[in-house]
Amino acid sequence: MMYTIIKTKDKGFGVFVNNDIPKNTKIGEYITNYENKIGRKLPNGYWEEELGRFCNHSSEPNCEIRLTNNIFYLYSICDIEKGDELVTNYSVIEKLLNVEEGRFMDNFINGPKLKNFGHLKMLDMNDKEKIVKEILELKSKKVITPKEKLRIQLLQQELGRFDNEK
């Protein structure tokens, strides 16, 4: 999986990348035209997918949505480094969906933008060993950058989910 959803201290949930992502990479479905259990129902018969539900707004986005076969996909618009948060500009999305400005953060039919989610990636023992190894490598550095601290937090949350799924 290219990304992990984690709860941040200051803005609810966010989507963070697990690996470097080159510019113009299709990351996944953002908004679809079929019902799902993850996202909210949007105007015009659309539904948020996991990325649409948890990708935060920025006036300086690193992603954008593109429409293909009636599905909006999230694409990187620049190189994104491992541990960075995926962010997009909601104003662009509002224009594409033809909803009034500021409405994308409002309550739609089945709930507000940021709320609990139910989809978690299942991890196996190989994943757990890789995560532990990466945490130890990062913690062994003499100087840990803020981005590396965030990566450690992200990995520790993945380990916690692994232990809870057992």
Residues shown for the chain: 166
pLDDT of residue 161: 58
pLDDT for 103-153, tens place per residue? 555 544 433 343 333 333 434 455 667 777 878 888 888 888 877 777 777
Reply yes or no on whether the pLDDT at 162 is more than 90.
no
Q: Which pLDDT value is given to residue 97? A: 72
The residue among 47, 50, 53, 60 whose CA lies nearest residue 89 is 60
pLDDT score at 156: 74
Determine the pLDDT at residue 32.
86
The Cβ of residue 33 has, within 10 Å, a number of other Cβ atoms equal to 13
At residue 152, the pLDDT reads 79
Q: Which residues pair with 4 in a beta bridge?
A: 16
Q: Any idea what the Cα angle at residue 4 is, between residues 150 and 75, rounded to 5°? A: 105
pLDDT tens, position by position, 11-55: 778 899 999 999 999 999 998 888 777 777 776 777 888 888 888
Tell me, what's the pLDDT at 117?
Answer: 32
Q: pLDDT: is 127 or 94 the higher one?
A: 94
The residue that leads in pLDDT, 159 or 71, is 71
- Residue 22 is predicted with a pLDDT of 96
Separation of CA 117 from chain center: 12
67-93 residue pLDDT tens = 888 888 999 999 999 889 999 988 777
Closest by Cα among 29, 44, 15 to 104: 44
Q: Give the pLDDT score at 74.
A: 94
